[in-house]
Amino acid sequence: MAIRQIRLENDEILRKRSREVEEVDDRIKELLDDMIDTMHEYNGVGLAGPQVGILKRVIVIDLYDGNLPLKLVNPKIIKQKGEQEVDEGCLSFPNEYAKMIRPAEVTVEALDENGKKVKIKAEGLLAQALSHEIDHLDGILFVDKMIPGTLHYVDPNEEEK
Ligand code: NI
C-alpha cells in the first residue's frame, strides 16, 4: 500500500482515454489499494486511474458512510435517469468547486477487485461520484460540465458549508 502522486489540472494525461483492463491481476489489485490510500490521504470521495498517472479503466469511491470503499474495474454506465444540481470538486483541482447537472440515478456495470461482475444502482452522491470518476476514464473533467460562472475557490482552512 502506498500513496501515489496525484496528477493536477494541467497534466495532459488527464485528457487521455483509459484502456480497458483485460485481467484483474495482482498489479491491478495493488493499484486499487494504492488509489484507496491516496484518496483517503487527500480526503477525496473518489479517484480514477489517470489521476495517478495510470491510463487504465479503474476507479475507487468512498463516501465515508460506513460502507466499504468501492473498487471498480471497467465501470460503465448502462442506464441513467433524472437530474440533480450539484456542487462538485476533484482531487486534481485542489480547492476548486463548480455547480453542474449530474444524473440523479445511474446503473453501473463493472468488475470488482476479484474480477467478478457487479451491477450497482446508485442515486444522489454515489450517482454523482460514479459519473464523475467514469468521466475521468474518457478524459472528461468536471470543469467541462460546469455551469458557466460557477467555478469558485474554497479556502481549505475555512469551514465548508
Ligand atoms: Ni476528479
Task: Measure the CA–CA gap between 21 and 72, rounded to whole angstroms.
Answer: 11
| CA 70 / ligand 1 centre spacing (Å) | 15
* Mean pLDDT of all residues in 109-117: 98
Q: List CB contacts of 81: < 8 A, sequence separation 6 or more.
A: 103, 104, 105, 106
Question: Mind listing the pLDDT tens digit for each residue in 121-138?
Answer: 999 999 999 999 999 999
The size of the chain, in residues, is 161
| CA 14 / ligand 1 centre spacing (Å) | 9
114 has pLDDT over 60: yes
105 has pLDDT over 60: yes
> Which sequence spans correspond to the domains of the chain?
12-153
Task: Measure the CA–CA gap between 57 and 5, rounded to whole angstroms.
Answer: 18
The pTM (predicted TM-score) of the whole model is: 0.95
Question: Mind listing the pLDDT tens digit for each residue in 54-98?
Answer: 999 999 999 999 988 999 999 999 999 999 999 999 999 999 999
Class of domain 12-153 as given by CATH: alpha beta
Sole residue written with cell 440523479: 104
Nearest to 17 by CA among 145, 144, 146, 141: 141
Task: List the shell of residues around ion ligand 1, using CB closer than 5 Å.
Answer: 90
Nearest to 44 by CA among 108, 113, 132: 132
Q: Based on the residue annotation, tell me whether 113 is a catalytic residue of this protein.
A: no
